[in-house]
């Protein structure tokens, strides 16, 4: 019953797109929360404007996408190796790091309705791994 209620209220659970990364979780986490580094690993992001360099719950700003379009974002949750956001007021990907014996697993939580975004997430995970391994 709890699963049915949760699904009715929040929609279906997201799809996890993940990759094992041979680097400490702390290093991957720092890359994910540093807004100045988002264009380094985010294939669709070319620039970021945000008051905070490191995101936290409530951080707001905007990202410039390929094609020179700026869209607003807000970090809706940021704690314990996980952050989520809304982009243009729409719930978007979650970002998670799971420590494991000196390395980690980086995960993008992709809403089911945005499953077509999975290839972009795979590319982002490759860029994240290249930046920290």
Distance of CA 122 to the CA centre of its chain: 12
pLDDT (average), residues 37-45: 98
Which of 5-9, 23-27, 54-58, 127-131 shows the lowest mean pLDDT across its residues? 5-9
67-82: average pLDDT: 97
Neighbour order of strands in the sheet with 82-87: 15-21, 103-110, 90-100, 82-87, 69-79, 60-65, 45-50
Q: What is the mean pLDDT of residues 99-105?
A: 97
Interatomic CA distance for residues 54 and 64, integer angstroms = 18
* Interatomic CA distance for residues 69 and 16, integer angstroms: 27
pTM, to two decimals: 0.90
Domains of the chain: 13-132 (3.30.530.20)
Helix axes 25-33, 118-132, angle to 10 degrees: 120
């Amino acid at each position: 019953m709890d699963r049915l209620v949760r699904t009715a209220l929040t929609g279906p659970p997201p799809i996890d797109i993940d990759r094992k990364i041979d680097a400490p979780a702390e290093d991957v986490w720092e890359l994910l929360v540093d807004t100045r580094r988002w264009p380094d690993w985010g294939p669709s992001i070319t620039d970021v404007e945000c008051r905070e360099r490191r995101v936290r719950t409530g951080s707001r700003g905007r990202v410039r996408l390929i094609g020179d379009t700026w869209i607003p974002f807000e970090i809706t949750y940021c704690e314990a190796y996980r952050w989520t956001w809304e982009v243009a007021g729409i719930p978007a990907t979650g970002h998670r790091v799971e420590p494991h014996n000196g390395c980690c697993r980086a995960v993008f939580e992709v809403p089911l309705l945005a499953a077509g975004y999975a290839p972009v997430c795979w590319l982002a995970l490759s860029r994240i791994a290249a930046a920290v391994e």
